[in-house]
């Protein structure tokens, strides 16, 4: 138990946060391992799943000792590492899933928000406790209001409270809520139709989501037209269309 464990299985890269004795709390070194595991995928990897060891926590976020003696310079370095890690997850060209098996706090909550999809069990608790330490929630906490609305996002961040996955169910934060024993099965079921698509179209669609988040409506629409047209240069797209036509003709 220690640094995140990275394993590849049937085209899926599993990244498991592995300090269950401290609720899988993270160090700066762990962030580098995760970043490398996400950015270092090859063409044989079609999906990434993040989870935590044990049944108590996905992760409690950055270990509080990380900030104990921080200065403005070291604080910037720490949060820059968080930004780079969480950003790598958000910008990965393959689908990313957070398999959330317990407490999901701080930077780990931001990782879950940065993932494309989230699968959790009913006892999961989310929270952004940073303000209790006198530091703000930053980086991909900026995504929270897209999921739960600005009012609820402000409540979650400013109160630093814990919220159950069922508390947030009406906002659709989790794509699936299943019993703990069914988490892995639910993740694989959710990924199956996505990974059946071409890697090119999934990467392009994810880039468009990022464009839609960061730019105005018309820019997003115009960019979509260019991305759509460019994919017809991709042999995989032409093959997928032909296969789809063949399937339809058999019905």
Query: Which ranges of the chain would DSSP assign to H, the alpha helix?
Result: 28-39, 72-91, 106-114, 144-148, 150-159, 183-195, 199-214, 217-230, 235-249
Instruction: For the sheet with 103-105, list strands across it.
Output: 57-59, 103-105, 125-127, 162-164
Catalytic residues: 110, 130
Q: How far is CA 91 from CA 20, 77, 211, 231, in A?
A: 27, 21, 11, 19
Phi/psi of residue 210, nearest 5 degrees: -65, -40
Q: CA-CA distance, 173 to 112, in Å (whole number)? A: 10
Phi/psi of residue 94, nearest 5 degrees: -110, 160
Show the tokens assigned to 95. 């689908």
């Amino acid at each position: 138990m220690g640094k995140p464990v990275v394993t590849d299985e049937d085209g899926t890269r599993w990244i498991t946060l592995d300090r269950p004795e401290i609720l899988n709390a993270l160090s700066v070194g762990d962030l580098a391992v995760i970043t490398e595991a996400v950015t270092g995928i090859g063409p044989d990897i079609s999906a990434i799943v993040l989870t935590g060891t044990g049944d108590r926590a996905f992760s409690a976020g950055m270990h509080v000792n990380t900030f104990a003696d921080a200065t403005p310079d070291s604080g910037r370095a720490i949060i820059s590492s968080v930004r780079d890690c969480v950003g790598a997850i958000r910008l990965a060209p393959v689908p990313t899933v957070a398999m959330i098996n317990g407490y999901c706090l701080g930077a780990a909550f931001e990782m879950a928000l940065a993932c494309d999809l989230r699968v959790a069990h009913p006892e999961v608790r989310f929270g952004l406790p940073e303000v209790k330490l006198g530091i703000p929630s930053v980086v991909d906490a900026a995504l929270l209001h897209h999921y739960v609305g600005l009012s609820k996002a402000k409540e979650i961040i400013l109160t630093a409270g814990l919220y159950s996955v069922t508390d947030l169910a009406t906002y659709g934060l989790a794509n699936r809520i299943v019993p703990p024993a069914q988490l892995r099965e639910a993740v694989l079921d959710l990924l199956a139709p996505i990974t059946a698509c071409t890697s090119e179209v999934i990467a392009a669609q994810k880039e468009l989501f990022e464009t839609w988040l960061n730019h105005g409506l018309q820019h997003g629409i115009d960019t979509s037209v260019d991305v759509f047209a460019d994919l017809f240069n991709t042999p995989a797209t032409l093959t997928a269309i032909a296969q789809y036509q063949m399937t339809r003709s058999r019905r």
